Structure 1
Amino acid sequence: MSCLKASHHLWTCLRASTMLSRLRTTWSLRPCVSVCRWAHTKEKGKPLMLNPRTNKGMAFSLEERQILGIHGLLPPKVETQDTQAMRFQNNLKKITDPLQKYVYLMGIQERNVRLFYRVLMEDIEELMPIVYTPTVGLACTQYGHIFRRPKGLFISIRDRGHVRSILENWPETDVAAVVVTDGERILGLGDLGVYGMGIPVGKLCLYTACAGIRPEKCLPVAIDVGTDNETLLEDPLYMGLYQKRDRSQAYDDLIDEFMEAVVERYGQDTLIQFEDFGNHNAFRFLRRYREKYCTFNDDIQGTAAVALAGLLAAQKAVGKPITEHRVLFLGAGEAALGIASLIVMAMMETGMSQAEARSKIWMFDKHGLLVKGRPQETDSNQEAFVHDSPGDVQSFLDAVNTIKPTAIIGVSGAGRLFTHDVIKSMGTLNERPIIFALSNPTTKAECTAEDAYTLTDGRCLFASGSPFGPVTLSDGRVFTPGQGNNAYIFPGVALAVILSGVRHISDTVFLEAAKNLSEHLTDKDLEEGRLYPPLSNIREVSIQMAVKVVEYVYAKGMAFRYPEPMDKDSFVRATVWNTDYDSFLPETYDWPGVSFTPKTK
């Protein structure tokens, strides 16, 4: 070290030491390890204001501003988080366009993570449809036009052989959960390529808001192998590769490399959630990886659990066990097959044979009823639900009238195919028809809540994937539609899996989650028309679900984190992240040679 540098180093340390001595009456010192990082950098604490995870805005106290070298960089007023939240909530109320609300909310997330989650959690029922379905779908279609700052990791087909080094570029070293998409089947909107990044970002927002998983432990990833969307390929603002989707072996090799790189970088119990892959790849990768990695597919397993929970709740109102239901699906893709398989598991738990359970489930896709001998080839994943033809069925209405289902479940993403005639027929066949219009976003729902309640005289048990407002019938009765949102399932399951060190996620975990969710429904909820608890309760629902799943995986020998916690409720709740600024103060005040924390009053 040169003389000049040495004297400057000594001067800075003396200055820091003098400042510390003046603070001894206010601060409690504790032994530490390092020398003041703030005293040795020209910018001092300004990076804290630029880092959304440490920024507190005007909530930095006067002492903090002085110690961290940001005094004067903020207006003199010291605000509480309450005041900051009120400002952002007031501004949100002034914005009427959902996409602009999304942009504004994401802007808060880019500046102040704790404030973002405070605002989101306090009004989760109102804001979840903005950060998640249905508005996130619109945001994905416009992603290149509203882009401000990347929030995840982008890995392209051209990066083969270098995926691990790309993961090294992600600043967080302790990632517990990854949500990955290749953008081929975004909600009901189709192939959006890298614009699909909005989905992993939105999913992980709910990991934190609903289950309290720390945001820095979450990594959104978009895999770019091209897109078959001609509109995007002609858009100068598109942000991905300008090429058709690579469907060669190179695609499989890239996904293999990605999975290996994630566990090498973050550990073999890192949770990897697959999201919005095309049907063929979704099932293929689930089969390929589920016994090798800690992974699940939300479109298959999460959707299945939330739909089954709705059916279990409906049986309370109908007074008929699930084994007595006949279910007709509109759609025969990954969501339908996932739901159907979990329904079969639930029926088999009661003693019914697999063959008998499968016989109670029918599917109708764009080619018609899934039956033996039809001209169109069926996918191997669909074979379990291919039945002998029940007669001449040309339309979905014909299928309803022929099969006489007690429940119809729409997961086709094809729009309003639960026509008035279909709904009326369900009302004629059943005293309490079950009608689930689960396709997202709202424009893709199979019917509206108003049609379902009005055309069945309020007798139906209705659920949708995207939110619908309350429906008032002509006689004054008011029904609040239940939203069969995967957000009731995947955050709680993810929290449990992460905390208990599960290596491989069994379908039985989702069966337990579905049963637990249905138990949260009250008689009052049923009277109001709900099949799911209010979204305003989703955080407590998710935490209680995590507790039950933790109990289950330890009881079944699936957990690998030991010693096993005796009080699992306290164990889970102790890990839940909160938005209080004070929770990270000890990390902020770390001087070279001394660490100290404010004395508690």
Structure 2
Amino acid sequence: MTAKPTPLTNHPTGVALLRDPALNRSTAFTEAEREKFGLVGLLPDRVEDEEVRLQRVLVQLDYKPTDLERYIFLSSLRDNDETLYFKALMSDPARFLPLVYTPTVGEACQKFDQILRRPAGVYLSITRKGQLRDLLRNWPHKDVRFIVVTDGERILGLGDLGINGMGIPIGKLALYTACAGVPPKVTLPITLDVGTNNEALIKHPLYLGLRQPRITGAEYDEFIDEFIMAVQDVFPRACIQFEDFALPHAAPILARYRDKVCCFNDDIQGTAAVALAGLIAASKIVDGALKDQRFLFLGAGTAATGIAALLAKALEQDGLSAAEAKRRCWLFDIGGLIQSKREGLTLFQQPFAHEHAPLDNFTAAIEVLKPTAIIGVSGVGKAFDRTVIETMAKLNERPIIFPYSNPTSHSECTAEEAYRWTDGRAVFASGSPFQPVYLGDKTFLPSQGNNVYIFPAVGMAIYATEAARVTDEMFIVAARALAEQVTPAQIATGLIYPPQSMILDVSLNVARAVARYIFDHGLAGVPTPDDLAAYMAEKVYRPAYRPLA
């Protein structure tokens, strides 16, 4: 029998097609496709639809004994069938998001060099300085719109993980798609390898990064600058999201480039926006407006100063003077209260260094400053101890308690502690997920102030509008749009964020609000559409197998 000629196509055929995660659909290939693309005999005879394939994923997932094993399985699924991977994530976001991102991604990053199957993204080593443009050109997709980049120095609350931090850009970009419909083909995870100060990693036989101390100073700054400029040359329409850079670098990098290129820092602006949204919703529960609240932060790093800065801008929009808006925000760290006479403050702490006597005890600071809300961004687990929470409950009928540090082990308190020590009066949100709390005959549903409510939606707005810059005002718009979607019924149960099961619809609503702001303020790179909702809907990625030519 004469062999059939290889068909003329614009994509691989045969085994090569089955190994292309963007095109592979395994047993969902139709009989005609199997004949046309040389797949007969390479697959079981049965043709399955997408729903059957999804059910198999769920069954296989249930066989896995730990969340880390589920993370590894889902990573392998993405390497094999990208469409099915996103179909799974978007089928049940509340179940899958904790598996592909926090809290599971923390353990995955700690063991990234041990669980690596197939490398993803681009690794840029400082030893390749001067070659970054060429390395970026090795990426097969040329129309990259979003880059999430880390140097691995401050991964979640886990510290310096070197290039093991690559799990963060990979996970973040998966959420761009799963939560807001940004097409995966326009995303690119990048890790900058400038060494690590983690001695255990340097000595670990499987560590994949440079085995040397971190490069700092002028050489580091030059490397960052080359990276930023290389992106402008190779991917001129890309927005850069900085992720998990340490305090000495995070805010200065953002300040240096935010007015020059399309970029933002999720740890600063994304965290700030989701916190702002939670505080707006929480204010409704305590029968007051946002401008009526007083805020005390435990932690004075990039997250704290970022939240405080965005919060102050929102308070100004609500009618407070700039000085009064800033004075509603107080910071406290390992050195005590941030106050005007304290030395060694960073440029970003200084706006919140108000005149006050020194205080070196957080509970004492609560008693003196009388905040209505405490926000934990310290990375210190259990820092909101019983004394702290009971003091807040003594001063406030409905104390707002936000332990935002990740992962769960670094949360300043648990949901149960917050509710139990306030007799159920706490208005609670955390950075990590907690299970419902049962106190007497009442059930409390803890809210998770996860950045996933913000950065994918802002990303979709930037993608749709081709905005050339990202502003703080976009994040305030996003925060207000998110808070507006919390229903009275949800607030009645204690929720201050919409359920994650609704994340796609919620994100698209936020994205439309941000896009409208971008168009209205002349920040878009494309003409204003006649029907914004229809225009945005056309941009949304939906995971479905499409006919192959």
Q: TM-score interval w.r.t. the shorter chain?
A: over 0.9
- Name the counterpart of 1:569: 533
For residues 199 and 250 of structure 2, the distance between their equivalents in structure 1, rounded to whole angstroms, comes to 23
Counterparts of residues 164-563 of structure 1 (less than 5 Å): 164-267=133-236, 269-374=237-342, 376-390=343-357, 393-474=359-440, 476-562=441-527
- Name the counterpart of 2:71: 102
For residues 462 and 57 of structure 2, the distance between their equivalents in structure 1, rounded to whole angstroms, comes to 34
AA aligned to 1:85 is L
- Name the counterpart of 1:597: none
SS at match of 2:349: helix
Q: Deviations over 1:162-212 (max 9, x none)?
A: 001101111111111100000010000001010000000000000000111
Distance 1:528 1:94, change over 3 A: farther
Q: CA deviation at 1:248?
A: 3.0
TM superposition outliers: structure 1 runs of 4+ over 2 Å: 43-46
For residues 211 and 194 of structure 1, the distance between their equivalents in structure 2, rounded to whole angstroms, comes to 27
Q: Extract unaligned runs of 5+ from structure 1.
A: 1-10, 17-34, 590-601
For residues 37 and 356 of structure 1, the distance between their equivalents in structure 2, rounded to whole angstroms, comes to 65
Q: CA deviation at 1:141?
A: 0.3
Q: Scaled by the length of structure 2, what TM-score is found?
A: 0.98
For residues 280 and 525 of structure 1, the distance between their equivalents in structure 2, rounded to whole angstroms, comes to 39
Q: Scaled by the length of structure 1, what TM-score is found?
A: 0.89
Q: CA deviation at 1:394?
A: 2.7
SS at match of 2:215: coil
Q: CA deviation at 1:323?
A: 1.3
Q: Over aligned residues, Cα RMSD in angstroms?
A: 1.5
- 2:182–2:463 Cα contact (<8 Å) kept: no
AA aligned to 1:495 is M
Q: Deviations over 1:38-78 (max 9, x none)?
A: 8xx9x833221100010001000111000001111001111
- Name the counterpart of 1:72: 41
For residues 5 and 94 of structure 2, the distance between their equivalents in structure 1, rounded to whole angstroms, comes to 51
Q: CA deviation at 1:317?
A: 1.1
- 1:154–1:224 Cα contact (<8 Å) kept: yes
Q: Deviations over 1:375-415 (max 9, x none)?
A: x521121000001224x633111111111100000001111
Q: CA deviation at 1:15?
A: 5.4
Q: CA deviation at 1:318?
A: 1.3
- 1:157–1:250 Cα contact (<8 Å) kept: no
For residues 75 and 64 of structure 2, the distance between their equivalents in structure 1, rounded to whole angstroms, comes to 14
AA aligned to 2:376 is G
- 2:93–2:500 Cα contact (<8 Å) kept: yes
For residues 350 and 465 of structure 1, the distance between their equivalents in structure 2, rounded to whole angstroms, comes to 26
SS at match of 1:456: coil
- 2:335–2:360 Cα contact (<8 Å) kept: no
Q: Deviations over 1:518-556 (max 9, x none)?
A: 001011111111110000001111111111111111111
SS at match of 2:348: helix
- Confirm or deny that 1:36 pairs with 2:3: no
AA aligned to 1:539 is L
For residues 36 and 108 of structure 1, the distance between their equivalents in structure 2, rounded to whole angstroms, comes to 28
- Name the counterpart of 2:26: 57
AA aligned to 1:324 is D
SS at match of 1:355: helix
AA aligned to 2:255 is R
AA aligned to 1:217 is V
Counterparts of residues 87-166 of structure 1 (less than 5 Å): 87-166=56-135
Q: Extract unaligned runs of 5+ from structure 2.
A: none
- 1:424–1:456 Cα contact (<8 Å) kept: yes
For residues 468 and 239 of structure 2, the distance between their equivalents in structure 1, rounded to whole angstroms, comes to 8
For residues 5 and 286 of structure 2, the distance between their equivalents in structure 1, rounded to whole angstroms, comes to 75
For residues 15 and 290 of structure 1, the distance between their equivalents in structure 2, rounded to whole angstroms, comes to 54
Q: CA deviation at 1:261?
A: 1.2
For residues 481 and 572 of structure 1, the distance between their equivalents in structure 2, rounded to whole angstroms, comes to 32
Give the aligned length. 548
For residues 316 and 247 of structure 2, the distance between their equivalents in structure 1, rounded to whole angstroms, comes to 26
- Name the counterpart of 1:4: none
Instruction: Compare CA radii of gyration and give the structure with the larger one.
Output: 1
Q: CA deviation at 1:331?
A: 0.1
